[in-house]
Amino acid sequence: MYFHTGHFAFTVTNFLLTYHSLLHNTETPTSSSSPAVKSLSDGAALCLRGLLASPEKHLAAIVDCSGTRILDCGVEAQGTAELGVIMADVAMGGRGKTELNSNSSSLSLPDIWPECPWPLVQVHSNDPVSACLASQYAGWQIDHENFKAMASGPIRAAIGKEKLFETIGRREQPETTVGLLETNRLPPETVCHELASLTGLPTHAITLLVAATKSPAGMVQVIARSLETALHQLHERGFDLERIVRGTGTAPLPPEIQGSLHAIGCANDAILYGSVVRLDVVGDDDSLEAIGPHAVSSYSNLHGESFSDLFKQANQDFYALDPGLFAPAILELRNLDSGRHHQFGFISPEIVEKSFLATG
């Protein structure tokens, strides 16, 4: 689906650099009897405080673009993996928490992949529908002349023109907002002005975090989307996302990567073949047993080949690939009502290793 503004075409896609989805939900509660709920933009701003105070600590740089504050996290600036953790938290609007850990035994893989040699990116959320799908989900593409980027973060709720917001509600009218762009270039002034027009905010009320996928920060914040892929697939299969109470996703982080295409391959392989997602849910068990096998990457007939090979066969066209492939390797559904655990899928360490050690 496309919607056009001036010379811009923002493309609402079905999967992110890696994965996208729709969801259904309700508007953020506004009742005076309920505790105050910070907007996604407010939550993201809180996550940014330390970075804005000392960008040099994370090898980032602040650039002005017609008043819009650009945080270069991995385009011209070097950035760090720890910066990617901040980006992931910002992408979730403060509704989730990301951890980078080199010790797999301290996270959620020891019982599944006890000898995982790679650092792990783990994300947890007590509000995964809001964190992952209403914010972190890369719901639209910026395509303007020579500038292309996948956009995510709270700015999507501030714009609210994606069709999914007709279903989920959660549109926001913040005084300031934050977005993330996956791209190899810093945005031009025309993009900053157009984003201001779409949000109805002045350019100085917008902050954009920008990083290439191959950068240390960019890779971490993409792999931090393992939890989001599970919610995406469950929604696509007709699961009621309101049954999800909380979730955790873990995926391995590849070593430093030089090439953009290699980075895309590694990011996808990390999730398709190496990720574990655990969701606490409520309701009946029969529906969990029925949907689980369809919500993991091994359900796709493309499963078993490295993403780089699949991407080449598809002429680097994501849309030519089976959308069912973009799912976690393992999905565990833990029913809080019945106490039963349901696990689906399997990891493929040999594919992850081959992908991570290939030269880009």
CA distance 17 to 41: 22
Tokens standing for 292? 């689980």
pLDDT for 204 beyond 80? yes
Closest CA to 269 of 185, 231, 213: 213
DSSP 125-176: ESSHIIIIIIIIS--EEEEETTEEEEEESTHHHHH--STTHHHH------SS
Q: What pLDDT was estimated at residue 157?
A: 87
Residue 259, pLDDT above cutoff 80? yes
Of the options 3.10.20.90, 3.50.30.50, 1.10.150.120, 3.30.1030.10, the CATH number for the domain spanning 7-25+40-357: 3.30.1030.10
Distance CA 15, CA 126 (A): 23
pLDDT at 31 over 50: no
Both tokens assigned to 7: 């010379």
Residue 278, beta-bridge partner list: 248, 332
Whether 6 shows a pLDDT value over 60: the answer reads no
Q: How far apart are CA 116 and CA 278, in angstroms?
A: 18
Instruction: Please say if the pLDDT value at position 200 is more than 50.
Output: yes
pLDDT in tens, 52-63: 999 999 999 999
Q: For residue 19, what pLDDT band results from cuts at 50, 70 and 90?
A: very low
pLDDT given for residue 297 in this prediction: 97
Residue 34 Rama label (left phi>0; alpha psi -120 to 50; beta):
beta
Above 80 in pLDDT, residue 14? no
Phi, psi dihedral angles at 66 (to 5 degrees): 55, 35
Whose structure tokens read 């910026």?
142
pLDDT in tens, 74-127: 999 999 999 999 999 999 999 999 999 876 554 556 577 878 899 999 999 999
Domain ranges of the chain: 7-25+40-357
The confidence score (pLDDT) of residue 165 equals 79
For all residues of the chain together, what is the average pLDDT? 86
Question: What is the predicted pLDDT for the residue at 109?
Answer: 60
Record the pTM: 0.86
pLDDT tens figures, 125-144:
999 999 998 899 887 888 88
What is the rounded distance in angstroms from the CA atom of residue 23 to the CA atom of residue 158? 17
What is the DSSP pairing of strand 120-125 with strand 96-101? Answer: antiparallel
Per-residue buried b or exposed e for 74-98, using 16+ beta carbons within 10 Å of the residue's own CB? bbebbbbbebbbbbbbbbbbbbbbb
From CA 158, how far away is CA 95, in angstroms rounded? Answer: 16
Which of 31-35, 73-77, 170-174, 316-320 has the weakest average pLDDT? 31-35
Query: Quick one: pLDDT band at residue 260, thresholds 50, 70, 90?
Result: confident
* pLDDT, tens digit (0-9, with 9 covering 90-100), for 305-349: 999 999 999 988 877 889 999 999 999 999 999 999 999 999 999
Residue 59 contacts residue 79 (beta carbons within 8 Å): yes
Confidence of residue 228 (pLDDT cuts 50, 70, 90): very high
